Structure 1
């Protein structure tokens, strides 16, 4: 649910643009959150829920908690309604999420932050709806993933980065997904702390798009989050 200009709005409303991520990171993120929410009945808001696949994957792990999916895209919400019981429309500007201040126990923010024009305002809005001490779970591609380090040395554009919304140029892959910003583990940790979150812990997750022959390497890289394909950050609202 990016905060985007009119041209980007059209891009994200295109049904051909992917709105789902890999199941592995969704399960890892859900297990981290389940361990942090031992008491049933928490309100978990999946901001940028896309087609609801990630929240549906997390649902059994977060049993006993109420998950509400939020997205800007009407097309994504239409698909999410077949997977989630509670779905609402919202935006990441000031007051754009339909929740009262401090009403959410946790926010899932999966594969969204890399699409944002103004991530600062987005984190302000997430912090607004979280209660003090509430949990923020962020997942985003890692600019410094193990293979991106090699690609840069060879003069290639890093995986996950894009220079155009019309095609892929200078990097492996064929799918345009609209990434505007990329983070390293160090940058993501610093950014979350500056936005009013503490106890930032970052772990790694594999990327479903890694070629089959390299998936064992990709899973092994998760042991070193700064080199993993996907960054999973768990932070608490200050």
Structure 2
């Protein structure tokens, strides 16, 4: 993106179809399995669980979750996929259409409170969600505190939060910092890449380590049940087996996957 093409605002940046809005199937599958484990088996006669995918992007996470949940809990849930980007919603509607026959996915427009230019909140009643998927969103926010407050509002007491975000302390970032190189995932400009590996500007504003994320969620009224790791789809091919192996050590993994519950 040249200086002349630089976005006038973050809203304009995320409406650009060239900006990536998905983060890889491996992360989505691992997160969907964590969600299925959190919800447990579906009991005949119970009301279907309401799962909200906040910041659904192109619908990848919602579609994968629908498939996994439909296999593990047939007829046991419905998914509401929410985003404020018109382009993302268009893609999400296409991707989630017929994603799983027994798990309907409803795509709606809405956003999190994140500064004066953003929507006031999610189009959901307080305590209406059994689980929230929050996939690769928190690193893009100006005001993550207000966003976590809103997620807590829509979750029922004891409801599940499944959050994923890049790991600032990923194994390769530790090596890059020792060499004086800007870490992967971190950005200093919306106009181009400066001083770090990679070729795409994706709008990351905040990055977390596993320890920082645990503390942040606890301060926001959540109890962390589990922290796991996921691989990064853009790691060079020869290093991918090593990246997958280090998912067993979440503090070193490329992506942090967290299951937390509303207190």
Measured against the shorter chain, the TM-score band is over 0.9
Kindly state the Cα deviation for residue 31 of structure 1 after the two structures are TM-superposed. 0.5
Give unmatched runs, 5+ long, in structure 1.
Answer: none
Residue 196 (structure 2) aligns with: 171
Q: Out of 105, 108, 114, which is 1:88 matched to?
A: 108
Counterpart-to-counterpart distance in 2, 1:223 and 1:154 = 25
- Structure 2, unaligned runs of 5 or more: 1-6, 43-47, 97-104, 114-118
2:17 maps to 1:15? yes
**Contact 1:95 / 1:125 at 8 angstroms: preserved in 2?**
no
Which of residues 240, 248, 259 in structure 2 aligns to 1:223?
Answer: 248
CA shift at 1:62, angstroms?
Answer: 1.2
Determine helix, strand or coil for the equivalent of 2:241: helix
Is the contact between residue 193 and residue 200 of structure 1 (CA under 8 Å) also seen in structure 2? no
* RMSD between aligned residues: 1.3
Task: For 1:55-204, list aligned pairs within 5 A.
Answer: 55-63=62-70, 64=75, 65-84=77-96, 85-93=105-113, 96-204=121-229
Q: Is the 8 A contact 2:214 2:224 kept in 1?
A: no
Q: In the aligned structure 1, how far is the partner of 2:28 from the partner of 2:60?
A: 9
Check the 8 A contact 1:218/1:229 in 2, yes or no.
yes
Write out the 4+ residue segments of structure 1 that deviate beyond 2 Å after TM superposition: none
After TM superposition, give the deviation of residue 226 of structure 1 in Å: 0.2
Contact 2:176 2:182 in 1 (8 A): yes
Structure possessing the higher radius of gyration over alpha carbons: 2
Q: How many residues align?
A: 234
Q: In terms of mean alpha carbon deviation, does 216-225 or 6-15 score higher?
A: 6-15
